[in-house]
Amino acid sequence: MFAAENGLKGDPRLQAISEAIRVIPHFPKTGIMFQDITTLLLNHKAFKDTVDIFIDRFRDMDISVVAGIEARGFMFGPSIALAIGAKFVPLRKPRKLPGEVISEAYELEYGTDCLEMHVGAVVPGERAVIIDDLVATGGTLSAATRLLGIASLLFTVIFLFYLFFSVARLAQTDLLTDFLERMGAEVVECACVIGLPEVKGQRRLNGKPLYILVEPREIEHCC
């Protein structure tokens, strides 16, 4: 359990959540102990407790964007977004989104992949959390964090052109710094149900707080 890090020490819900996750050895390839959250989704109490813990965590953090990572972040993110009054932004695998996108490639425990987000899905000044089922190397969450940052960078570049040509005197003042800090969706935290040993003990990822509920299950306890 990550109870010491996540402020849920002694919370009996974590044990039940952990036990509801199935381990499939050697999927999708030899040596990977696959943490299968579909069995957690079958257990109404454990599923609800998982979502409720995230809702309690983010309810009072002034979050307006819940960004979910395809595919398993989609299973937790929308419920959290609805409950805290935020919008849900899907971060999808390549060529799935129909509109104009920005992309970010990354390396996985078993291959490489890419995440895409619709341009305009987040607007300057928004506070975002990124949700996924599991963090292993942290590559996926790092790409997702960069993606939300790129959106703000694009906006920043456009704004700087405007600023340069129309109100150049602002460029040398504190007003500019102040404005840039409010430009894009700030990633307030990354959150996952499971944290693999690669990130054990880490409370931050790329400078962002990392909130994790449970460690992976050992194979001998597998359902």
Ligand X SMILES: Nc1ncnc2[nH]cnc12
Binding site for ligand X (CB under 6 A): 32-35, 109, 134, 136
| Ramachandran category for residue 137: left, alpha or beta (phi over 0 → left; psi -120 to 50 → alpha) | alpha
Q: Name beta bridge partners: 64.
A: none
Backbone phi and psi for residue 122, each to the nearest 5 degrees, phi listed first = -120, 150
Options 42, 71, 167, 219; binder of ligand PRP; rule CB under 6 A = 71
Q: Name beta bridge partners: 210.
A: 190
Options 5, 19, 113, 215; binder of ligand PRP; rule CB under 6 A = 113
d(CA 41, CA 37): 7
The yes or no reply on residue 136 touching ligand PRP (CB under 6 A) is yes
Using CB distances below 5 to 8 A depending on partner kind, what does residue 39 bind out of ligand PRP, ligand X, none? none
The yes or no reply on residue 109 touching ligand PRP (CB under 6 A) is yes
Count the residues of the shown chain that bind ligand PRP, applying the rule CB under 6 A.
16
C-beta of 34: minimal distance to ligand X in Å?
Answer: 4
The yes or no reply on residue 72 touching ligand PRP (CB under 6 A) is yes
Q: Identify each DSSP E strand in 9-86 by its residue range.
A: 22-25, 33-36, 65-69
d(CA 179, CA 159): 10
Q: Which two tokens stand for residue 195?
A: 């944290």
126 belongs to the catalytic site: no
109 belongs to the catalytic site: yes
Return the active site residues: 72, 109
Residues binding ligand PRP (CB under 6 A): 69-72, 108-109, 113, 132-140
